[in-house]
Amino acid sequence: MNLDGVAPGTRLVTTSGDIAELIEVAVNGEARVRYVEVLGGAEAVVGNEASISNDDIATFDGDRFTGPPRTSSSGA
């Protein structure tokens, strides 16, 4: 997920289903996060910090989970 402009403290949902709070976005695009709810990630522990790829972040937390922008007709 593109994290440009996403503010620190924003709650994000990982592709494992965990909820993590954004701490910062590194220059290489990785996200520094702190886990606040853990559903699936085998290595995730509530309260722990971790660096994860922005590809492993699915969407913003909330009542509506929105998928990535799609440009299907333009193809690969």
Partner 1 sequence: MLTEAQNDRLTQVGPGTPMGELMRRYWQPIAAVAELKDNPVKPIRLLGEDLVLYRDEGGRLGLIEASCAHRRVNLLFGIPEERGLRCPYHGWLYDETGQCTEMPAEPADSTFPSRVKITAYPVEKLGGLVFAYLGPQPAPLVPHWYPFVEEGRVRSIGWTVVTCNWLQVMENSLDPIHAEYLHGYFSKYALQRIGVLKDRGDIYGKRSFERNPDSDHWFKGNPTMRHISAACSRFEHGILKHRWLEGETQEDSIGWNIGHPIVFPNYESGTGGHDFQIRVPMDDTNTYYIYYYADPPREGEPTEQADDDIPVYHVPIAGVDERGLPIWGQLDNNSGQDHYAWTSQGPRTKRYLEKLGQSDMGIILFRRMLSEQLQIVEDGGEPMNTFRDPATNDIVWLPFDRMGDEEIQGKRAVPKRAHKEGGQVISHGASGKFKPWSIEYAKRIGAPIPPPFPESARTVVEVSPG
26 contact partners, CB below 8 Å, separation of at least 6? 32, 51
Q: Does 4 participate in binding partner 1 (rule CB under 8 A)?
A: no
Please select the residue that binds partner 1; options are 5, 28, 42, 47, rule is CB under 8 A: 42
* Dihedral-angle region of residue 52 (phi above 0 means left; psi in -120 to 50 means alpha; beta otherwise): beta
Task: Name 17's bridge partners.
Answer: none
Question: Looking up tokens 């590194």, which residue turns up?
Answer: 26
28 lies in the site for partner 1, by CB under 8 A: no
Q: Quick one: which segment of 3-11, 20-28, 33-41, 45-53 binds partner 1 (CB under 8 A)?
A: 33-41
By CB under 8 A, residue 8 contacts partner 1: no
- Regarding 64 and contact with partner 1 (CB under 8 A), the answer is yes
Find out whether 10 and 60 touch, Cβ atoms under 8 Å: yes
Contact residues toward partner 1 (CB under 8 A) are: 1, 13, 15-17, 39-42, 55, 57-59, 63-70, 72-76
